[in-house]
Structure 1
Amino acid sequence: MDLRTGGPLLSVRTFLLGGAGLALAGCSGTTLPGAGSPLPSPVGAQATAAPGSTIGTGSVKIAMLLPLSAGGAAGNTATQLRNAAEMAVAEFQGPDITILVKDDGGSAAGAQAAAQAALQEGAEMFLGPLLADAVRGAAAVARPAGRPIIAYSTDTSVAARGVYLMSFTPQNTVDRIVQHAAQTGKRSYAAFVPESAFGQVVQGAFQEAVSRSGGRVVAIEKFPLDPNGVTAAASRMSGISGQIDAIFVPDPYDGAAIRALSSAGIDTRRVQVLGVGPWVGNRAAAQAAPTALYSAPDEAGFQSYAGRYRARFGSDPARITSLAYDSVSLIAALVRTQGSQRFSEAVLTNSSGFNGVDGLFRFRADGSPQRGLAVIQAGGRVVSPAPRTFAGS
């Protein structure tokens, strides 16, 4: 199901759903009736969502749970996610949905209360929450009621049958970059990871990905987040340069870890450096290792979406907001095309997946997401484009 919109080349929505009586993914697709160019929108200040507000006037009710009152970064992100949902409804001509926007306060208890209120108002499914604890709270209400959730958390521990994650997870990005390394002949790996929750997650994902690829992990070293600690940790890896083909360095900061490894004798011109998505646009990381590779979504779709968001709300969208846009577009398309089975497990976990602003994605039966990602060199050159289908995955 192709959810792309905007721009002269992507001005229509087509849908591809193998096994659901529609075109198989990889074919040209079918145009949704009534889809067209985005509707004109007034330019104005960033909208502020009020708890309990609604978006759209359709007959099918969908709940969107967001930490609108949480304050700080979470509250600001919640407002932008709500904006993206509003934009998706405006650009999908005649969607038969009403989104019940509920404030979950960023907590499990708040999400439980918000989910219960939405159920009483007739919500058939849930979008959000954003934060992991809130997802758990919402799931405690939604799952017993048989209502699926498409959440925006990156914490895969909250994924479950009927609780699907829309996000870009560390597992997805690490899987893609290790898969590419294996396809180019890399077999022996090392990892240099930060001592943090993020480091712990990506280390586990890295070890699993290398094992699946048939490779071996020669060494793993952790570094603290201070310059002296990075240098000392890198020195402990100085003797392994000749034993490895690639080294995984999930350093999303300023390239300090890569520079420390180079100073310790790791030849980053011979040993392939594998990085992470936050290197997108990071000049310091690119300068530290110009040939390093990372995985990320193709940016073309997001840039088109961001331009339309900027015109509508007068500010740049956070990267995560495309998740709300794509999830609302998906729901609107399923309501239009899938009848009473629109939110069934069979439809939501269709193996062909869906295609949106950020490219190809699908939900596994266990709730975890799979994304079609590109492999990009630190300087910005795409060395392996994002896949167009999940065939062979």
Structure 2
Amino acid sequence: MSDDDHPASGPSGPFPARASRRTFLVMAGATTLGTALSACGSMPESPPPQAGLPTEPAPQMPQQPANSIGTGSVRIGLLLPLGASGNAALAAQSLRNSAEMAMSEFTGANIQLLVKDDGGTGPGAQAAAQQAIDEGARAIIGPVFAHTVAAAGQVARQRGVPLVGFSTDTNVATQGVYLLSFLPQTDVERAIRYAASRGRRGFVGIVPDNAYGSVVEAAFRETVPAVGGRVLGIERYATGDGGKYAEAAQRAAASAREADAIFLPDAADAVPQIIQALAAAGVNMSGKQLIGTGLWDDRRLFAAPSVAGGIFAAPDPAGFRAFSERYRARYGQEPVRTATLAHDGVSLMAALVNAKGEMGITDAAIQNPSGFIGVDGIFRFRADGTNQRGLAIMQVGNGTSQIIDPAPRSFAGAI
């Protein structure tokens, strides 16, 4: 997450049964890890020492750190703000639980998680990363916030250790520092492409004047012309002040009358007010496609009649529902929405190690263009550290949202 983030986006990508959840599929070649393990099992063993010759004592395994999960031979750092204040610590515990659950669900996971508390601070993340690597970590999962990912990532890159973090701020992503989070840019691209595929050509954006607004506006400006559309206008409004919605709507009114798609990347407390302000400014909203982002995945917004028919991109909800059921059965409470990131991060590392041993955790393996299947569907990492996800198109209506265009099952075609 970015420094002031709340969990983004909506639900997830399914695994049909518990047994199949135990195998994290590397999509290249459509093979499971069982195949790789069988191949490894056919390797000849080292010959016994010759009789009468002295033998070296068996090497002793390093002592298991106090705060660790699992007993595998390959160590992976898990950096979380467990000692931070407020909601950050609660979210961190949910992420830790999810990582533990992934270890229990992955058959034969030959990894050990070294859990480190970064305290939610840059210096804390830097120290935690250093400690994990000094204790033998071959990769790092986490941290959560942009400033902690940047700090830990600097250490990891210097030591040649890949890091898979949870921030949504792509400014901290780079070669060797990967983001597994739900990126708003992916939401925008998927939804705009879908709208264009249904004949929408004239787009207007009304966006919040904040960091999130800047990110989604940039993605909007880039994607619309790429799919054959035209950006007819973009207006910004100050956040936290309902009166600014009317001013922005007035400025956007002329362009919005010509548009057949209106982009409103904000949350449930803002979007209905903006729609009302556009109507008050003389914009006939009938027939115009409303487009949102993962912030729309909110029951309060689903209940707003003015948003009915609007679309947004999100992971298929089925995966998160199944994940949540298993999490509740194990821990007796609800997981935070981003808990799936820790689960998939651990499963990813376990899959790479089980396939090729500790030397299997490389940038090339992490950047596998065929991608991976996780709780929230398919995903893959770009060389610049950002990710792509296979998202569904959800449509708002009757107090809920439903899939109108399924999430892709592979990266063979466009998302």
TM above 0.5: yes
Greater displacement, 234-243 / 146-155: 234-243
1:119-158 to 2 correspondences below 5 Å: 119-158=133-172
Residue 350 of structure 1 corresponds to which residue in structure 2? 368
SS of residue paired to 1:238 = helix
2:282 paired with 1:265: yes
SS of residue paired to 1:239 = helix
2:405 paired with 1:384: yes
Residue 249 of structure 1 corresponds to which residue in structure 2? 264
SS of residue paired to 2:231 = strand
Residue 375 of structure 1 corresponds to which residue in structure 2? 393
2:320 paired with 1:302: yes
2:236 paired with 1:222: yes
2:278 paired with 1:276: no
Paired residues of 2:69 and 2:113 also in contact (CA < 8 A): yes
Larger radius of gyration: 2
Residue 57 of structure 2 corresponds to which residue in structure 1? none
Deviation (angstroms), 1:233:
1.8
Q: CA 1:52 to 1:219, structure 2 compared with 1: closer, same or farther past 3 Å? A: farther
SS of residue paired to 1:217 = strand
Residue 320 of structure 1 corresponds to which residue in structure 2? 338
Task: Give the letter for the 2:167 counterpart.
Answer: S
Q: Greater helix percent: which structure?
A: 2
SS of residue paired to 1:291 = coil
Deviation (angstroms), 1:338:
2.4
Deviation (angstroms), 1:232:
2.4
1: CA distance, partners of 2:189 / 2:408 = 14
Deviation (angstroms), 1:348:
0.5
Deviation (angstroms), 1:342:
1.5
Identity score, percent = 46
SS of residue paired to 2:82 = coil
1: CA distance, partners of 2:22 / 2:125 = 35
Where do 5+ consecutive residues of structure 2 fail to align?
1-12, 38-64
SS of residue paired to 2:129 = helix
Residue 92 of structure 1 corresponds to which residue in structure 2? 106
Residue 39 of structure 1 corresponds to which residue in structure 2? none
1: CA distance, partners of 2:248 / 2:394 = 27
Deviation (angstroms), 1:14:
5.8
The correspondence for 2:17, drawn from 4, 7, 13, is: 7
Residue 54 of structure 2 corresponds to which residue in structure 1? none
2: CA distance, partners of 1:69 / 1:195 = 32
Task: Give the letter for the 2:280 counterpart.
Answer: S
Residue 162 of structure 1 corresponds to which residue in structure 2? 176
Deviation (angstroms), 1:304:
0.3
Q: CA 1:282 to 1:4, structure 2 compared with 1: closer, same or farther past 3 Å? A: closer
SS of residue paired to 1:381 = strand
How far does the alpha carbon of each residue in 1:52-71 deviate from its partner, in whole angstroms, 9 at most, with x for none? Answer: 61111110000011111111
SS of residue paired to 1:167 = coil
Deviation (angstroms), 1:214:
2.9
SS of residue paired to 2:75 = strand
Deviation (angstroms), 1:327:
0.9
SS of residue paired to 1:15 = coil
The two structures, once aligned, show a CA RMSD in angstroms of: 2.1
The correspondence for 2:32, drawn from 14, 26, 30, is: 30
Where do 5+ consecutive residues of structure 1 fail to align?
36-50
Greater displacement, 180-189 / 256-265: 256-265
2: CA distance, partners of 1:9 / 1:244 = 49
Number of residue pairs the alignment of both structures matches: 368
- Kindly indicate whether structure 1 or structure 2 has the higher relative contact order, using CA contacts under 8 Å at least 6 residues apart: 2
Q: What TM-score, normalized by structure 2, do the two folds share? A: 0.84
SS of residue paired to 1:124 = strand
SS of residue paired to 1:81 = helix
Residue 226 of structure 2 corresponds to which residue in structure 1? 212
2: CA distance, partners of 1:72 / 1:143 = 30
Task: Give the letter for the 2:199 counterpart.
Answer: G
Q: CA 1:171 to 1:347, structure 2 compared with 1: closer, same or farther past 3 Å? A: same
1:56-75 to 2 correspondences below 5 Å: 56-75=70-89
